[in-house]
Amino acid sequence: MLESILHAAGYRVGCYTSPHLLVYNERVRIGKKTVSDAELCASFEKIEKVRGDIALTYFEFGTLAAVQCFIAHKVDVLILEVGLGGRLDAVNVFENDCAVVTGVDIDHTDYLGDTREKIAFEKAGIFRAGKVAICADEDVPQTLAEHAANIGAKLWRIGREFSFAENRVPSPPVDNVGEANKNQTRTILVSQTHTVDNAHINHHGEQKQWNFHGPGGVRNSLPYPALRGAFQLHNASAALAALDAMKDRLPVSMEAVRRGLVEVVLSGRFQVLPGSPQIILDVAHNPQAARSLAKNLANLPSGYKTFAVFAMLKDKDRQVVVRALKDQIDVWLVAGIDSPRGAKAAEMAEVLAAEEITEAVLAFPSIENAFQHACNQASENDRILVFGSFYTVAEVMRVRGLRVS
């Protein structure tokens, strides 16, 4: 959302995200477009020439190459998504002007710890003294707040320093703009836990809107983000809070905010494909994402079967993910992931059995086989959910000949 809004405001935006779905280039975007193979290779060659005997991991090498691309293009603002945790992540080597933690939940426990408090401390490692640190989790862990206070970061919390409210009665817009200073590149670090549709229309057929209240003032009558899911207003609020923190150096008009919200695209996150039966792609692979996915499914019209093409990595909390979604799924089509970290179909079936799901469970040798079976069995009024991993969604995207938007 930050990328989309700042691009609409006329800034040259570099955006680094991970992982990718289909091709590596998806990780590095300039002006909302992926960089070319030639540009990436040139950046990798520059890093290789100067690293000497310094060993670099896959992610470290990629992070440096991405930033080298941004330097070459002289971008106005960098948006860098944290790969894992924050404190020890490669992205954290760069100083930032604003840091955002969208949420804190249990994931990557081998590296970050097995409690929200431990994980929150790792995420808070991207905060900087004297700079704004944003948290969009309504239940702010104590370790995160304490770390912000200890280093002198300016912590802005959702529900306190900034908030949002739905609004079905349009209000006069309030604009917060100033003079731009494009002589410097600004950096925003984001730590994430990963076309307006009918969900944004109320029962009167009117477009729903929402209002944002932040340190920079009020922004009224905003359109809903073009990304599905009720939690997206939390994410949008975090983005607008970040813009408030940067407004003196990166002013953004109301027109740019509105345009950025309605034009934002993110493949594989509750992505609904056109046609019948309805096909939903979601990379949800941890408890927080699974709970959000369950809520989104519950808000859709019901009465027909939901077929789930389901495959996950074995180092994820598969049982909690299943527990969050079992009431929303009628038929489970489990498959293995062809990766050293991938769980086999039989292992996935065991997880379902542990949750007392034994009927309507079919195992397949591949994700493609499971998806084809779903397409053959689902009626035009049923829905097919593909979820559990980037690998799972990517395989179905390849089968369908889809591209990343």
End-to-end CA distance of the chain: 14
Burial of 198 by CB count in 10 Å (0-12 exposed, 13-18 middle, 19+ buried)? exposed
> Where are the chain's structural domains?
2-263, 271-400
Residues in the chain: 405
State the pLDDT confidence band at 178, using cuts at 50, 70 and 90.
very low
- Judged against a pLDDT cut of 50, whether residue 182 lies above it is answered with no
Residues facing residue 308 across a β-bridge: 332, 385
51-55, 85-89, 201-205, 234-238: least confident range: 201-205
| pLDDT score for 208 | 80
Q: Of 4, 231, 211, 200, which Cα lies nearest the Cα of 102?
A: 231
Peptide bond into 287 cis (omega under 30): no
Q: Is 84 exposed, middle or buried (0-12, 13-18, 19+ CB in 10 A)?
A: middle
Topology alike, domains 2-263 and 271-400: no
Q: What share of the chain has pLDDT > 70, as a percent?
A: 89
Asked if pLDDT for residue 202 goes beyond 50, the answer is no
Residue-wise pLDDT for 308-335, tens only, equals 999 999 888 899 999 999 999 999 999 9
Distance from C-alpha of 249 to C-alpha of 262, rounded to nearest angstrom: 24
The angle subtended at Cα 371 by Cα 366 and Cα 376, nearest 5°, is 130
pLDDT (tens digit, 9 = 90+) per residue, 77-131?
Answer: 999 999 888 899 999 999 999 999 998 876 666 777 778 889 899 999 999 999 9
More confident residue, 10 or 113: 10
Within 13 A of 193's CA, how many CA atoms are on the CB side? Answer: 27
Task: Map tokens 């009020």 to a residue.
Answer: 218
Q: Cα(203)–Cα(220) distance, rounded to whole angstroms?
A: 21
Residue 19's CB: how many other CB atoms inside 10 A? 15
- Which is nearest to 132 in space by CA: 160, 161, 99? 99
Higher pLDDT, 155 or 178: 155
The CA distance from 220 to 13, in Å, is 25
Cα–Cα separations (whole angstroms), residue 384 to 279, 283, 306, 374: 5, 14, 6, 7
* Topology (CATH) of 271-400: Protein-Tyrosine Phosphatase; Chain A (3.90.190)
For residue 192, give every residue at least 6 positions away whose Cβ sits within 8 Å of its Cβ, in sequence order, or none: 81, 82, 102, 103
Mean pLDDT of the chain: 89
Give Rg (Cα) of the chain.
21
Kindly list the distances between the CA atom of residue 232 and the CA atoms of 15, 202, 210, 264, in Å, as whole numbers in the listed order: 19, 17, 12, 11
Give residue 206's pLDDT band: very low, low, confident or very high (50, 70, 90): low
Predicted confidence (pLDDT) per residue in 362-388, tens digit: 999 999 999 999 999 999 999 999 999
Q: Which is more confidently placed, 150 or 302? A: 150
pTM of the shown model: 0.87
Q: Does residue 198 register a pLDDT over 80? A: no
Q: Are strands 209-214 and 217-223 parallel, antiparallel or unpaired?
A: antiparallel
Q: Which two tokens stand for residue 124?
A: 């808070």
Residue 80 is encoded by which pair of tokens? 């860098």
User: Residue type at 228?
Assistant: R
Looking at residue 201, the DSSP 8-state letter turns out to be: B
User: Any idea which fold 2-263 has?
Assistant: UDP-N-acetylmuramoyl-L-alanine:D-glutamate ligase (3.40.1190)
